[in-house]
Structure 1
C-alpha cells in the first residue's frame, strides 16, 4: 500500500448517505427525540464502531453540497454528521449557530445510535468537529467554549478555509482571532486547510470569500501544537463542494468566489487530509499523515504551504 496516496482514494467501507429530519416536538427531560436541525449523515454500513465527525457547512450553503466530501471521509471508517442551516441569513452574529451546534452534540448522546444502520455504533469518545468557512469559525468557537461549552469532549478540530469576518478588525461576533501568536488554547489537535485563491476577488461585485487577516493563515498562527496546516495553491474557497450544486444557492457557488479549474482535485485533497489527520489523532495511525508530511507532492493538488506544529 502506498500510504501517502491511500487516504486520497476511496476507502474500503461501503457508505450509506441519508437524512434525519426534524419535526416540532416537546423537549423531554433528557433530549429531543428528533434533532433541532435536519441532518445529512454519511455512515459505513459494515458492522463496527466508528469515530464521529460533525461537519458544519459554510454560510448560505446546503449540507447536501458536501455529499461527495462526506462520502469520502465516511468510506475510511467514520460516521459523518452534517446539520443544515446553523445560521440565520440576516446578521453576522454567530452566537445562535454556536448554541445550535452544542445542541446537536447533546442530541447525539441519546439519539445517534438509533439513527444509524443496523450494527453500526458511534464512538462519541472519539468525536471531532469540522467546519467550512463560517462553519469553521463556529467549530473553533465551540471547541474554545465561546458562548456555550460543548456537552461532549471534542477530541480533534478541523477548520476548512475558516473565516472570522470580512476583513482585519471586522470580525463577526463573537470574535475568535486575537492576533496574538499561539493564543488559541485548544486542548486538542487542530487541522487547518486553506485555499490559495480564497483571499482574491472573483470580480468587482463580490468581496473575497476568505479575506486575508481573518482566514486560514491567521487561524493557524494562533494555534498551539499539535497542529497541521495545508494550503491548496490554485484552488478557491468553494472548490471542495460537490462537482454539481443545483438551485439558486448552488448556482451562486460558481460565481461569488474565485475558483480553480475543477472541484474534484480540491475535494479529494480535503477529504484525504481530513482522513489522514483523524486517523493520526483519533486512531493512533500516524503513518498516513507522516507519509504525506515526508512526500507532500503526492497530494492531488499543488500545495503552497504545509506546516506542522508538533
Structure 2
C-alpha cells in the first residue's frame, strides 16, 4: 500500500479530505507485499484506490481503455478516492483483438467478486457500500461499461450510475468492434440508471496522417449521449484529447505511445482534474443524493472548473 498527499478542501476539482491508499491485488493468492493473501482472489488483477479512514464508502468499478494499463489512471482514481469513494480498477487484459466480449464478461465476474472478496483487501475499518455501486470506463472501457450496464451479461450486484469517459465503439461509423453497442436510434439505451458522458474536443482530430483519430466521429461520445435517456449529463472538454486524463508519467512502450497516437492538449493535469471532479460530483448526486456540485457544473457556476467546456447538455 502507498499513501497519497491530500488537502482538506471540498471542491470536487481539488484533492478531497481523505488520505488515500493504492492497493494492488493479484488474480491468484500470494503473499507479496503489494498484494494481500486472500482466500477468494479476484478473477483479474486489481488496482484499488481507497480512503484509509474508518467509514462506509460507495464504490466505483473503473474499466481501462484499449491496450492501456490500469496503473496509467493512478492519479485519477486517487483523486476520486480522496472524496470518499473506493475505486476498483481491474487489468482486464494486456493484449486484445477487436472483440470486447471477454472483457465485458471479465468486468461482470469482478463485479460478482466484490461481495466475496473486496472487504478482505481493504484497510481495517474501511467498509464497501455494495448497494452504492457506480460503473465507469474510458475509451473502449467506456463501451464495455455501457455493454455491462445494458445487460450484455448479468451481475449479482446492481449498478446505480454509469459514466462513459470519452467512450468509443470502434474505428468509425459502420466499423464498430463486436459486440456493437451503439444502435444509432436516438434514446434507445434501456438503462435503469443515471448516465454521465464526458467527451474530448480533440479526440476526433488526427494526431498525424498515419493514424486515425482516437475517438472518431460516428462512434464516440456524441453518439453515446444521443442514445441515452434521462437522466443524462453530457460534457465535452475543449482543447483536450482522448488520453489527457491519464497520469502525467505513463511508463513503458504503451505509456509513451499515449503521447504519440492521440491528439493531446498542452498538459494532462487540467483534463484529469475535470474528469475526476465531474465523476465525484456525479456519484455524489446519484449514489449519495447530493446534487449540489453537479448542478453547479451544469449551470456554469464558478466552482473552479479547470477547463473550458465546449458542450454542456443534460436531460432530466
Matching residue within 133, 136, 150 for 2:139: 133
* Structure 2: unaligned runs, 5 residues or longer: 1-9, 31-37
Q: Does 1:194 align with 2:187?
A: no
Q: Does 1:274 align with 2:315?
A: no
TM-score, with normalisation over the residues of structure 2? Answer: 0.92
Alignment correspondent of 1:39: 46
Alignment correspondent of 1:53: 60
Aligned pair count reads: 300
**d(CA) in 2 for partners of 1:159, 1:245:** 22
Alignment correspondent of 1:254: 259
Q: After TM superposition, list the pairs within 5 Å mapping 1:220-259 onto structure 2.
A: 220-259=225-264
Q: Does 1:95 align with 2:101?
A: yes
Do 1:189 and 1:226's aligned partners in 2 also have CA atoms closer than 8 Å? yes
Do 2:60 and 2:87's aligned partners in 1 also have CA atoms closer than 8 Å? yes
Matching residue within 298, 307, 310 for 1:304: 310
TM-score, with normalisation over the residues of structure 1? Answer: 0.94
Q: Kindly report structure 1 stretches of 4+ aligned residues shifted beyond 3 Å.
A: none
**Deviations, residues 222-243 of structure 1 (Å, cap 9, x unaligned):** 0000000000010000000001
Measure how far apart 1:204 and its partner are: 1.4
Do 2:68 and 2:94's aligned partners in 1 also have CA atoms closer than 8 Å? no
* Structure 1: unaligned runs, 5 residues or longer: 26-30
**d(CA) in 1 for partners of 2:209, 2:127:** 49
**d(CA) in 2 for partners of 1:166, 1:24:** 38
Measure how far apart 1:296 and its partner are: 5.2
**Deviations, residues 251-289 of structure 1 (Å, cap 9, x unaligned):** 101101000000000000000000000001111111111
Matching residue within 58, 61, 69 for 1:62: 69
**d(CA) in 1 for partners of 2:200, 2:271:** 9
In structure 2, the CA distance between the partners of 1:303 and 1:296, relative to structure 1 (3 Å rule), is farther
Q: Name the Cα RMSD after superposition.
A: 1.6
Alignment correspondent of 2:80: 73
